[in-house]
Amino acid sequence: MKIALVGATGMVGGVVLEVIKERKLYFDELYLVASENSVGKKINFLNKTYTIISLKQAVEIAPNIAIFSAGSSTSLEWAPLFAKAGTTVIDNSSAWRMDETKKLIIPEINGSLLDSNDRIIANPNCSTIQMLMVLSPIHKKYGIKRVVVSTYQSITGTGMKALKQLENEYEGVKGEMAYNFPIHQNAIPHCDDFLENGYTKEEMKLSNETHKILDSTIKVSATAVRVPVIGGHSESINITLNNSFEIIDIVKLLSNFPGLCIKNDSFNLEYPMPLFSKGKDEVFVGRIRKDYSEKNSLNLWVVADNLRKGAATNAVQIAEYLIENKLIS
């Protein structure tokens, strides 16, 4: 079993290595891959020193699985070359998500769609993953008519440059800016590029990916906000269902869904926060309550570490599924 990690020196790549270690993902050989600027650098992992190799070298090795965390342009250029060599690619970028010929996978929801013919598998957007982990069991039982979601997204979703900007601003140091405005003591209603319809790409991902993974009839309206937080993304989700429900049944339903952790005791101040989601794989759900302004509607507060379940963990879970079900060559 040969596994390659493309983008091994990046923020998500580092977390992928942590998740591989923690979940004991099976491999005989591991290849750490990055851009030409990083080729030759050393990374210590599991008591072994690995030397960074180039994408060209990795393609020639033809690993069984390649986890890509290197951005859309790299994925668009190199994923097909790996696939042609017989490698199954699990891609963390947005490059292949809406490609009709590629599957968009959250293992707990639609992992069963995978088969041995899949050569490029797309990992959904981080904010989509945590939202659909909650929506999926609810939709299956009650049917979802409409979703209004506001996200409060960690700067780690932007990368190391944003983390450095926050650190500089906190310390009063002038430096390179990842955002158009200061992020310290601020909230910026702008994640990704704006589109002609007035929404950002991030906001439209929540709608488009929900339609591809869950149900094309669900109406989704999203607002995405960047906040000076490191531990994960938070989402305020309002859901209108097709059928009536009781909150106690919603809580029980979510409690039994794999990968969810319920923190729903507001009177004892128990609710999800990014402060406590950092470094964890679970999607945390709380503030579960009826929306009395609209029939068959409820509100939830959902938090998850965007670098873990929102990216690295979901990708590694896909790799686990492929290996366990013998879907790779």
Catalytic (active-site) positions: 126, 233
DSSP 85-138: TTPEEEE-SSSSTT-TTSEE--HHHHGGG--TT--EEEPPPHHHHHHHHHHHHH
- Give the DSSP H or E segment for 212: helix 201-213
Encoded amino acid at 74, one letter: T
Q: Is 298 exposed, middle or buried (0-12, 13-18, 19+ CB in 10 A)?
A: buried
Check if the beta carbon of residue 51 is closer than 8 Å to that of residue 30. Answer: no
Q: Which long-range contacts (CB under 8 A, 24 or more apart) does 116-119 make?
A: 116/326, 116/327, 116/328, 116/329, 118/88, 118/327, 119/83, 119/87, 119/88, 119/89
Q: Hunting for tokens 């490059």 — which residue is that? A: 95
Distance between terminal CA atoms of the chain? Answer: 9
83 φ, ψ to 5°? -60, -40
Check if the beta carbon of residue 162 is closer than 8 Å to that of residue 176. Answer: no
